[in-house]
Amino acid sequence: MYDEVMDCLINADGYVSGQELAKKLGVSRQAVWKAVNSLRADGFEIESVSNRGYRLRSLPDSLNSAAVKAELKTAVIGRELEILDSVGSTNDYLKNLGAGGCRGGYAVAAREQFGGKGRLGRTWESSRDKNLAFSVLLRPKIAPYEASAITPLAGLAVCKALRSFTGLDCKIKWPNDIIVGRKKLVGILTEMSAEFDAVEYIVIGIGVNVNQGEFPEEIAEKATSLLLETGERTDLNKLLARLLEQLETEFINENLELSRNALAEYSSLCATLGREVEFTRGGRRLSGAASAVNALGELVVNLPDNTELTVNAGEVTAQGIY
């Protein structure tokens, strides 16, 4: 009843009476009243005026699936959306659903994520109700080696959505961190379950620092948030809807491939290109100039002896970023 009453209030033009709602939904006025109270408890501001009825004044600040859906214009991604109150990791939660057969496009976000994962066993920090921590599941009909475009496309989508939503000069740190200036705003963790010749599902996990004003000491130097960069609070529900939309646009338009167009766009937003980078190869520490990203999403590095190497994973530090 919660969702139905909320849908009616969101779509109503002004007041709707309890009686009208009860009749439309085929339930008692008592049931409508209970649903209104649960909505209020979740942060929906609902006015009630005798003889006129209920009117929605504002949507909640904290993540709420109905508030996201009221904004969302996608066909697939996030059409099925679950908002969890608290979870260890949205990626792990969604991988479980993936193993159980949930559909492609399924998305999960959490108000609180207490065991957020980074790459290579690292952790991702996020305070309750301040940030976005969400994951999206895809079921592309491709072989594992064809999945290399997904990570850069996800980075491109998030970067473009944040640029247009906030006006900030967000850039991509290869392969797919989003940064503002020298600091990290977004981390992305892509995980895949695959047979030898077919992908079963891919989970893309995205953490965005939104309304967090302070970070734990260990990351205070390298982390930033939309609040710190813009001085303003951002509506988490609207931002999540925008991010899901841009992910869908990028994945569908590009057919999950890194087309020339997408690669050119990615490269123009990639802050790593043109910088000195360091990485480890065969146990040796190497450094060179990052010159390009190739069609497989790999970083092309020119070494001082004029040889060229491609780097496809692991850790690359770029001078001047972090």
Name the one range near ligand BT5 by CB under 6 A: 10-18, 123-131, 232-240, 304-312: 123-131
Residue closer to ligand BT5 by CB (options 43, 118) is 118
Among 64, 91, 237, 272, indicate the residue that binds ligand BT5 (CB under 6 A). 91
Among 22, 43, 62, 118, indicate the residue that binds ligand BT5 (CB under 6 A). 118
Residue closer to ligand BT5 by CB (options 65, 90) is 90
152 counts as binding ligand BT5 under rule CB under 6 A: no
187 counts as binding ligand BT5 under rule CB under 6 A: yes
Which residues between 221 and 250 bind ligand BT5 (CB under 6 A)? 222-223
**H or E segment and range at residue 163:** helix 150-166
Whole-angstrom CA distances from 12 to 20, 55, 291 are 11, 8, 55
Residue 182 and residue 275: Cα distance in Å, rounded? Answer: 13
Strands 53-58 and 45-49: antiparallel
Specify the residue for token string 């991988």.
95
Cβ at position 184, least distance to ligand BT5 in Å: 4
What is the torsional sign of CA 310, 316, 318, 321?
Answer: positive
Among 53, 78, 155, 207, indicate the residue that binds ligand BT5 (CB under 6 A). 207
The DSSP annotation for 169-197 comes to -EEEETTTEEEETTEEEEEEEEEEEE-SS
178 counts as binding ligand BT5 under rule CB under 6 A: no
Name the one range near ligand BT5 by CB under 6 A: 28-36, 83-91, 165-173, 262-270: 83-91
Cα angle, residue 314 at apex, residues 161 and 135 outer, rounded to 5°? 40
Residue 214 and residue 217: Cα distance in Å, rounded? Answer: 9
Which positions touch ligand BT5 (CB under 6 A)?
89-91, 116-120, 122, 124-126, 133-135, 177, 184, 187-189, 205-207, 209, 219, 222-223
